[in-house]
C-alpha cells in the first residue's frame, strides 16, 4: 500500500451470513475494536442486514455496503435491488462482480459493466471484483484475463467516476480455500491492474485508485500482503465474520 498516493481500504464481505440481530451483535463487538483505524473500514452485509448495520455504524468511521445491485432504477426485476434503493437508505458502497455471482448467478463482464455504470450514476462507491481461476493461472493467462475484466467493467466510465471505484483482485482459487496468493503473486496482479488503468485513464488516475487483494486474507498474512506497493487493502470473507480477526487485519493496515 502507499497511503501517500491512495486510500487504504479494508472491507468485510459477509456474503450470506448473519441475521439482522446477529449483524447488530457482530458490529457491537467490532466497532470499539476499529475506532482508531488508520484506514477506511467498510462492512458489506446482506441486504436484510443493511438497516441494522447502518444504525449500528452511524457516527462511526465504519461505512456500510451492499453485495450487489441491479442496473435499473426500478422495474419488473423480481428479487433485485436497485442502486437508488441503496442510496435512499444511506448505503455508500456496493460490491460488484464477485466471483461467486459470476459462478453461481450468471454474472458476466457485460452485466458487471451495466451494474457499475448504474451504481456510479446513483452516487455509490463500487468495489469491482476481478480474478482468475486456477486453470487460467496454470495456463499463464492471469494478467491478460484480469486486464480484460477490468477493461470491460470500465466501458463508459469517466475519469471523474473512476475516483469512486475500488478494485478487488480476488483469485478464485484463493477464495474460502485457505490457500492465499503469495504476497508477490498478489502484488504482481494488482500492479497489472494499475497498468491497465494507466493505459485507459493515465498514470495519475491509476496511482490514485485503490486496489485490494481478497482470498483467504487473515490476521496472519495481512501485513505481508499489504506491504506490497500495489496492494492497497483487503476484501475479507471468512475472517470478517469474527470481530477480533477482522480488527487485527484493520490494525495491520497501518
Ligand atoms: P475469504 O476471505 O473467505 O477467502 O473470501 C474472500 C472473498 O471472497 C471476499 O470477497
What are the pLDDT digits (tens) for 170-181? 999 999 898 899
For residue 63, how far is its CA from the centre of ligand 1 (angstroms)? 18
Which of these, 164, 47, 153, lies nearest to 107 by C-alpha position? 153
Which of these, 245, 162, 166, lies nearest to 213 by C-alpha position? 166
Record the pTM.
Answer: 0.98
Say if ligand 1 is within 6 A of residue 171 CB: no
Structure confidence at residue 118 (pLDDT):
98
Residue closest via CA to ligand 1's atom 2 equals 237
Q: Which residues contact 219 (CB under 8 A, 6 or more apart)?
A: 239, 245, 248, 249, 252
Buried b (16+ CB within 10 A) or exposed e, 96-127: bbbbbbbeeeebebebbbbbbbbbbebebbbb
Ligand 1 atom with the shortest distance to the CA of 100 = 8
Residue closest via CA to ligand 1's atom 1 equals 237
Ligand 1 atom with the shortest distance to the CA of 240 = 2
For residue 15, how far is its CA from the centre of ligand 1 (angstroms)? 9
Total count of residues recorded for the chain:
254
Structure confidence at residue 150 (pLDDT):
98
Catalytic residue among 70, 93, 98, 132: 98
Classify residue 91 as left (phi > 0), alpha (psi -120 to 50) or beta.
beta
Share of the chain above pLDDT 70, in %: 100
Structure confidence at residue 237 (pLDDT):
98
Would you call 93 a catalytic residue per the annotation? no
Confidence of residue 194 (pLDDT cuts 50, 70, 90): very high
Structure confidence at residue 254 (pLDDT):
86
Would you call 170 a catalytic residue per the annotation? yes
Residue 52, pLDDT above cutoff 90: yes
Say if ligand 1 is within 6 A of residue 236 CB: yes
Say if ligand 1 is within 6 A of residue 170 CB: yes
Instruction: Please indicate whether residue 37 or residue 3 has the higher confidence score (pLDDT).
Output: 37
Which backbone phi and psi does 11 adopt, to 5 degrees? -120, 140
Dist CA 99 CA 123 (whole Å) = 24
For residue 238, how far is its CA from the centre of ligand 1 (angstroms)? 6
Element spanning 95, H or E? strand 93-96
Which backbone phi and psi does 166 adopt, to 5 degrees? -110, 145
The whole-angstrom distance between residue 61's C-alpha and the CA centroid of its chain comes to 17
Amino acid at each position: 500500500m502507499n497511503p501517500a498516493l491512495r486510500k487504504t481500504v479494508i472491507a468485510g464481505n459477509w456474503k450470506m451470513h448473519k441475521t439482522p440481530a446477529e449483524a447488530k451483535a457482530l458490529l457491537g463487538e467490532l466497532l470499539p475494536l476499529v475506532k482508531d483505524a488508520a484506514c477506511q473500514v467498510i462492512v458489506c452485509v446482506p441486504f436484510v442486514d443493511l438497516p441494522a448495520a447502518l444504525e449500528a455504524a452511524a457516527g462511526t468511521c465504519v461505512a456500510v455496503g451492499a453485495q450487489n445491485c441491479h442496473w435499473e432504477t426500478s422495474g419488473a426485476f423480481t428479487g433485485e435491488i436497485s442502486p437508488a434503493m441503496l442510496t435512499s437508505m444511506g448505503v455508500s458502497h456496493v460490491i460488484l462482480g464477485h466471483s461467486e455471482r459470476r459462478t453461481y448467478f450468471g454474472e458476466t463482464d457485460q452485466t458487471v459493466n451495466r451494474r457499475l455504470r448504474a451504481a456510479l450514476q446513483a452516487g455509490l462507491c463500487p468495489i469491482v471484483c476481478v480474478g482468475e481461476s486456477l486453470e487460467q493461472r496454470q495456463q499463464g493467462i492471469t494478467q491478460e484475463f484480469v486486464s480484460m475484466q477490468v477493461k470491460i467493467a470500465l466501458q463508459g466510465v469517466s475519469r471523474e467516476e473512476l475516483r469512486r471505484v475500488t478494485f478487488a483482485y480476488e483469485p478464485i482459487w484463493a477464495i474460502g480455500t485457505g490457500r492465499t496468493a503469495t504476497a508477490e503473486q498478489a502484488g504482481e496482479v494488482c500492479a497489472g491492474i494499475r497498468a491497465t488503468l494507466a493505459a485507459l485513464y493515465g498514470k495519475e488516475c491509476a496511482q490514485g485508485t485503490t486496489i485490494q487483494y481478497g482470498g483467504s486474507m487473515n490476521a496472519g498474512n495481512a501485513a505481508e500482503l499489504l506491504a506490497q506497493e500495489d496492494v492497497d487493502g483487503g476484501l475479507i470473507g471468512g475472517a470478517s465474520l469474527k470481530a477480533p480477526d477482522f480488527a487485527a487485519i484493520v490494525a495491520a493496515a497501518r
